Amino acid sequence: MTFSQDRIIPTDLSNEMSRSYLEYAMSVIVGRALPDARDGLKPVHRRILYAMYELGLTHDRPFRKCARVVGEVLGKYHPHGDTAVYDALVRMAQDFSMRHPLIEGHGNFGSVDNDPPAAMRYTECRLQSLSTNALLRDIEAETVDFVDNFDGSQQEPVVLPARIPQLLLNGSSGIAVGMATNIPPHNLGELVDGVVALLHNPQMSDADLMRYIPGPDFPTGGQILGRIGIKEAYTTGRGSIIMRGVAQIETIEQHGRPDREAIIITQLPYQTNKAALIEKIAELVNDKKIEGISDIRDESDRDGMRIVIELKRDAYPRVVLNNLYKQTPIQANFGANMLALVNGEPHLLSLKQFLQVFIDFRIETITRRTQYELRKAEERDHILQGLLIALGNLDAVIQLIRGAADTATAKTQLVERFSLSEAQADAILQMQLRRLTALEAEKIQAEHEELQAKIADLQDILARRERIEAIIEQEVQQIKTAYATPRRTEIIQAEGELVDTDLIANEQAVILLTEQGYIKRMPVNTFGAQNRATRGKAAAKIKEDDVVEHFLTCCDHDNILFFSDRGVVYTLNAYHIPAGSRSARGVPIVQLLPISQGEKITSIIAVQEFTENDYLIMLTRKGYIKKTALSAFSNIRANGLIAISLEEGDQLRWVRLAREEDSIILGSKGGMAIHFKADSQQLRPLGRATRGVKAMKLKEGDELISMDILPSQVVARIGTAEEESEDETLENEELVSSEEANQGPWLLAITTCGYGKRVPVSQFRLQKRAGMGVRAIKFRSAQDRLIAIHVVNREDEMMIVSNRGIIIRQAVDAISLQSRMATGVRVQRLDDDDAIAAVALVPPSAEGEEDPEAE
């Protein structure tokens, strides 16, 4: 074979290679691997959705074989392999891959175990209603540009007219030439809130937007550890987000064998292969790299995921779980790389830039749609105006048409005589005789007037940007109402991470801890105020052999101090305690705190700031009391801090916040109360590792049940008294005036049988520490006992919880004001086998003053 010399073109090899490779790279970047920032889709996904829309496979039509869709896409728009198209179609139908799947699948579309989908000849599909309403709607209204397909035989959209920020909603990943993208999925409701906020305030920063979009929301749920990676991704476009599965430590019942503790995994990090994870854990156990595991089972079914990791009897569950986090994909990193195409060029985008690109695109789309609707309305109105002219000159028009030789002549004469356009003349000639009736003429006139109003409205939309922004807001809110679902992924604080609390709402909360160690947090507004002596609402799904033991009201920004019976204190931020519904049991506290086996939490308090003037008053079961500066607890280690030294057999039971000028009231189960000052004469400040001094002299069989603090301004109004006997009646002591009694504060006393009363605090004279005290309440039955005392004011509200988890919230003002020797009134109606477990006061506001604590 010979070549003529004139057909050989001399070319520099390096230039040719450089040019060719650059063209190839840009082709991959733009035409294959990177999504468009406007609709969040790569070309293959866009072509699949558009082809299905053209086939009429909407959510209200029957399913069609996936092979039919793949063939349509290959033949018309995407000249590549069928495997590439089917794989993309399958992923858009997987609810564990996409936060809101765009395609509804029928058949086997794979699993979280990485099982492959069935062949395309077996599976069927159709569009989800979200795809139709939020991505493809208005595509016929000239909202987006169309271009020729690969052979020029068809037209395909350059971009879909998305009504939602789809790229952030479902995320995207792709490897191009020299660059890659990895965008996590988000929650639809949060994205809509972010878009609306940015519309109202275009000057918002990425940090401001994080109030509305706190972080990714993965379809498989799980947890995100810390906010630092999220903030980096949202502000710089790149960040490493730590994902963690959801695991609980439970005691599982086994037939014929002693109960064992087990780690139950119910959610995995995004894109984690469950089967590979179980295989990895088994491999680590066999290689002795993880100790303490006796068995692994996959009990997942159609109701949800459940991986059971049984532990050996001597294993420490928290240590095993931490090893699993460290050595297996139960904890993994999501390397966010927020790269997308903007005007055909790859750009690294921040959170605000993503939303701004979407808003700009929506403004363009709505403008084009409005222009299209305006043009159509004007064209229709132009025809109607011609028909109205014909109806106004009906006899002349009929005579003209009847006298014309042919249609063309009639058309020409109509145009010349009545100054009509050709389109109007055609419409008149095509008008049916039935439209000449008076009723039809009225309809034409009404339609003309309606179109005039519509044209004026459309012109107003085009003239005013705020109208377009209002339409964007209305449309995204409609989609949010129809399709938004609650967040699945929980964002928790990483150990040692400094959190920007401005991103977390400081709401009032209720914290419940049961006797078996289940804890949860609920908003205070879950419980509306009720009347006295009503039943209340169930607050927790309590196991038969479990009861509510600790109950605390606080605010989400507070530090919660947990004191154990061994005299050790642990700390958590309130918002780190997982929120739960009224029907939820809560999570085991051993998942949140490094409590040793046999150790039990006996008191919890909320602290806003570790100030110099505040002290912790600690009281033990045997009646030892001590005062320690709160500042000594400002840096509590992860494994806890010693708060008090205990003698053999004693336990730390109650802890309260107080100041030097305040006074202390103690209550006993037998209904006695003692009131003494918290100053250095009665209680001198002691260090953490000390025991304390005797608090109260108790009768045989009696025991301490509660402690509260009386503020200094009230203490000043109360005199001192010598030791009084238990039998001394109210008549023998100095009576207070009704004005002083009604002024408050009062001592609120609640009994186990659901009775309570308010007593003026002035009836409890200041005494010396370690005395017998005075009677605070008389009981209606031999079984009744005092369960709680609280210092309350007129505006306070209290929440009472029973052993079976029934909570009632009521104003303390509704409880009768009575003397010390009275029995009180019913405050909560209880079942026969139930009893009051704890009482707490509702903080006055989210920024509230010091919060009262629970028993």
Rg (the chain; Cα; Å) = 37
Q: Which pairs count as long-range contacts for 141-148, CB under 8 Å and 24+ apart, including other chains?
A: 141/368, 141/369, 141/372, 141/373, 142/368, 142/369, 142/371, 142/372, 143/365, 143/368, 143/369, 143/372, 144/365, 144/368
CA distance 121 to 729: 91
pLDDT in tens, 763-790: 888 898 888 899 999 999 888 999 999 8
The predicted pLDDT at position 730 comes to 44
**Which stretch of 193-207, 433-447, 748-762 has the lowest confidence by average pLDDT?**
433-447
Provide the 10 A C-beta neighbour count for residue 470.
13
Highest-scoring range by mean pLDDT, 248-262, 316-330, 727-741: 316-330
Cβ–Cβ under 8 Å, residues 35 and 172: yes
CA distance 800 to 807: 6
The predicted pLDDT at position 853 comes to 38
The predicted pLDDT at position 226 comes to 86
> Residue 317: is the preceding peptide bond cis (ω within 30°)?
no
Question: Residue 50: which H helix or E strand, with range?
Answer: helix 43-54
CA distance 656 to 711: 12
Which two tokens mark 196?
């609306």
CA distance 533 to 527: 16
pLDDT in tens, 306-330: 999 998 887 888 888 888 998 999 9
CA distance 99 to 488: 10
Query: In this model, does residue 498 exceed pLDDT 70?
Result: no
Provide the 10 A C-beta neighbour count for residue 687.
12
Q: Which of 780, 667, 668, 679 is nearest to 720 (CA)?
A: 679
The predicted pLDDT at position 735 comes to 40
Which two tokens mark 568?
């050790």
The residue type found at 194 is G
Q: How far is CA 106 from the centre of its chain?
A: 30
Residues whose CB falls within 8 Å of the CB of residue 458, separated by 6 or more in sequence, listed in order = 370, 373, 374, 377
Task: Compute CA distances 327 → 281, 289, 322, 773, whole Å.
Answer: 9, 9, 9, 59
Q: Burial of 598 by CB count in 10 Å (0-12 exposed, 13-18 middle, 19+ buried)?
A: exposed
The predicted pLDDT at position 534 comes to 60
pLDDT in tens, 679-690: 888 888 898 888
**Which stretch of 128-142, 229-243, 430-444 has the lowest confidence by average pLDDT?**
430-444
Query: In this model, does residue 733 exceed pLDDT 60?
Result: no
The residue type found at 110 is G
Query: In this model, does residue 458 exceed pLDDT 90?
Result: yes
* Average pLDDT along the chain: 86
CA distance 129 to 163: 13
Query: In this model, does residue 361 exceed pLDDT 80?
Result: yes
Query: For the residues 202-214, what does the mean pLDDT come to?
Result: 91
Query: In this model, does residue 598 exceed pLDDT 90?
Result: no
CA distance 371 to 461: 10
pLDDT in tens, 374-410: 999 999 999 999 889 888 888 888 888 888 888 898 8
Q: Which of 549, 524, 553, 546 is nearest to 537 (CA)?
A: 524
Residues comprising the chain, all counted:
855
**Which stretch of 449-463, 482-496, 548-562, 583-597 has the lowest confidence by average pLDDT?**
583-597
Residues whose CB falls within 8 Å of the CB of residue 679, separated by 6 or more in sequence, listed in order = 660, 661
The predicted pLDDT at position 546 comes to 65
Catalytic site residue 372? Answer: no
CA distance 850 to 770: 27
How confident is residue 743, by pLDDT bands cut at 50, 70 and 90?
Answer: confident
CA distance 336 to 439: 65
Residue reference for tokens 């479990």:
546
Cβ–Cβ under 8 Å, residues 298 and 274: yes
Strand-pairing partners, residue 331, are: 244
Query: For the residues 509-532, what does the mean pLDDT come to?
Result: 78
The residue type found at 727 is D
The predicted pLDDT at position 732 comes to 35
Query: Which is it for the CA torsion 41, 481, 467, 458, positive or negative?
Result: positive
How confident is residue 736, by pLDDT bands cut at 50, 70 and 90?
Answer: very low
For the chain, what percent of residues have pLDDT higher than 90? Answer: 45
Provide the 10 A C-beta neighbour count for residue 359.
19
Residue reference for tokens 């405050």:
827
Domains of the chain in sequence order = 246-329 (3.30.1360.40), 369-482 (1.10.268.10), 504-841 (2.120.10.90)
Burial 438-449 (b: 16+ CB within 10 A, else e): eebbeebeeebe
Angle between helices 188-200 and 465-483 (to 10 degrees): 160
Residues whose CB falls within 8 Å of the CB of residue 851, separated by 6 or more in sequence, listed in order = 552, 553, 554, 555, 558, 606, 608, 841, 843
**Which stretch of 101-115, 159-173, 498-512 has the lowest confidence by average pLDDT?**
498-512
Q: Give the N- to C-terminal CA distance of the chain in Å, as an integer.
A: 100
Residue of 251 and 704 predicted with greater confidence = 704
Q: Which of 507, 479, 551, 454 is nearest to 800 (CA)?
A: 551
Q: Which of 295, 290, 305 is nearest to 248 (CA)?
A: 305
For the chain, what percent of residues have pLDDT higher than 70? Answer: 90
The predicted pLDDT at position 711 comes to 84
Cβ–Cβ under 8 Å, residues 784 and 752: yes
The predicted pLDDT at position 363 comes to 95
Residues whose CB falls within 8 Å of the CB of residue 537, separated by 6 or more in sequence, listed in order = 527, 582, 806, 807, 808
Provide the 10 A C-beta neighbour count for residue 19.
12
Query: In this model, does residue 446 exceed pLDDT 50?
Result: yes
Task: Compute CA distances 534 → 537, 757, 795, 808, 827, whole Å.
Answer: 10, 16, 20, 8, 7
What DSSP string describes 403-416? H-SSHHHHHHHHHH
Backbone angles phi, psi at 495, to 5 degrees: -65, 130
Residues whose CB falls within 8 Å of the CB of residue 707, separated by 6 or more in sequence, listed in order = 617, 619, 654, 656, 664, 665, 666, 667, 789
Determine the number of helices (DSSP H) and then strands (DSSP E) in the chain: 19, 41
Q: Which of 772, 755, 770, 675 is nearest to 719 (CA)?
A: 675
Task: Compute CA distances 115 → 87, 271, 606, whole Å.
Answer: 13, 13, 49
**Which stretch of 191-195, 474-478, 692-696 has the lowest confidence by average pLDDT?**
692-696
Strand-strand pairing, 490-492 and 223-225: parallel
Catalytic one of 122, 212, 570, 755: 122
How confident is residue 535, by pLDDT bands cut at 50, 70 and 90?
Answer: low
The predicted pLDDT at position 510 comes to 87
Strand-pairing partners, residue 800, are: 808, 839
